[in-house]
Amino acid sequence: MSIILKEMIKPEFEKRYRKLLGEEYEILLSFMAKKPIPSIRVNPMKVDPNWMVEKLERLGWRLQQISWYGNGYRVIEGPERLGNTEWHQLGFYYVQEAASMIPPIVLSPKSGEKILDLAASPGSKTTQISEMMKYEGVIVANDVNPSRVDTLIANIQRMGSLNVIITMMDGRLVSSRLGHDIFDKVLLDAPCSSLGEIRRSWGALARWSPKSVSKISRLQVSLAKAAYRTLKPGGLMVYSTCTLEPKENEWVVYNLMKAGAIIEDIHIKGLKWRSGIERWLSWEFGGEIRKTMRIYPQDNDTLGFYVALIRKPM
Ligand SMILES: C[S@@+](CC[C@H](N)C(=O)[O-])C[C@H]1O[C@@H](n2cnc3c(N)ncnc32)[C@H](O)[C@@H]1O
């Protein structure tokens, strides 16, 4: 493992993550030091995925289908970056990390539904959801950051996602602006400390501190409560982050449970994950939290993710 990476680790980080992972802590670090495997998600609304894969393989790329998402492929090798091709510009595929495809699969969008994606930019999950809906129904894709909304617009246009309305507001205000009980499904892929993305950039490790985690956790709880309010009774919400921090994951979901939310089981074939943790520091989240999903980088050789499926009672 890289000595530079090890030197960046703060003693409090090591203490907490050794406690969380036990003997697997060293394995986590070794995966954090490894470059992630790039992957793409082929857009079946624009192109036959078999045609796209054959075309790329004839030109020298070697692709491997992702076991949990049939239109997703890991890029084992290739002559150039897949973001540079004309097919990328045409929206035939989106360069998206394999674990990032999981929250939309858990949300399981259907044609005709009304869906909110509260923190949507750059739009990898919005465009995936749109394709899963076959462009039928409506997605409201929101982000607070103007320059990131520009990127979101560009990606939605490139992928041809016809059923997306874009809004720009602080997600904490969404229920006061749009109303309560209106969406069939809601995705909150929350801003987070990004510890699951350390394989991509070590910046998250340098920025990590208990104080910064607590600060972002407060924002996540407010966003989650606002998102939950917009959900119809009986509707489903996915809360996801690309971090491993319990205060940004189980703690946030626990706050929704206190507001009456029900946690649902998650079933995905071909994916390894761990149950959400029941206790952390001085908090007890209860047994239901075990239905939520922790994905460590070493589980499937991806980035790290946390995903919870939440139902609003009727
Ligand atoms: C993890 S990223 C979302 C990634 C996106 N879902 C995707 O798959 O491409 C989190 C996003 O939350 C946005 N964000 C941060 N604070 C927000 C807030 N208060 N309201 C709405 N969006 C916010 C950020 O600008 C960022 O684009």
The pLDDT of residue 178 is 97
> What pLDDT shows up at residue 252?
98
pLDDT for position 259: 95
DSSP annotation of 257 reads H
Name the token pair of 76. 């084992």
Rounded distance from Cα 275 to ligand 1 centre (Å) = 25
Distance (Å) from CA 149 to ligand 1 centroid: 10
107, 133, 198, 242: which one is catalytic? 242
pLDDT tens string, the chain, 314 residues long: the values are: 677 777 889 999 999 999 999 999 999 999 998 999 999 999 999 999 999 999 999 999 999 999 999 999 999 999 999 999 999 999 999 999 999 999 999 999 999 999 999 999 999 999 999 999 999 999 999 999 999 999 999 999 999 999 999 999 999 999 999 999 999 999 999 999 999 998 888 889 889 999 999 999 999 999 999 999 999 999 999 999 999 999 999 999 999 999 999 999 999 999 999 999 999 999 999 999 999 999 999 999 999 999 999 999 99
To the query of whether residue 192 is one of the catalytic residues in this protein, the response is: no
Burial class (CB in 10 A: 0-12, 13-18, 19+), 270: exposed
Distance CA 284, CA 56 (A): 49
Return the bridge partners of 64, or none: 74
Which pair of tokens denotes residue 182? 């209106």
Ligand 1 mutation target, pool 41, 124, 144, most atoms within 8 A of CB: 144
Gap from CA of 123 to ligand 1 centroid (Å): 9
Q: What pLDDT does 1 receive? A: 60
> Tell me, what's the pLDDT at 3?
75
Instruction: Ligand 1 pocket test: pick from 145, 148, 230 the residue with the most ligand atoms within 8 Å of its Cβ.
Output: 145
The full set of domains in the chain, from first to last, is 3-34+99-311 (3.40.50.150), 37-95 (3.30.70.1170)
State the pLDDT at residue 166: 98
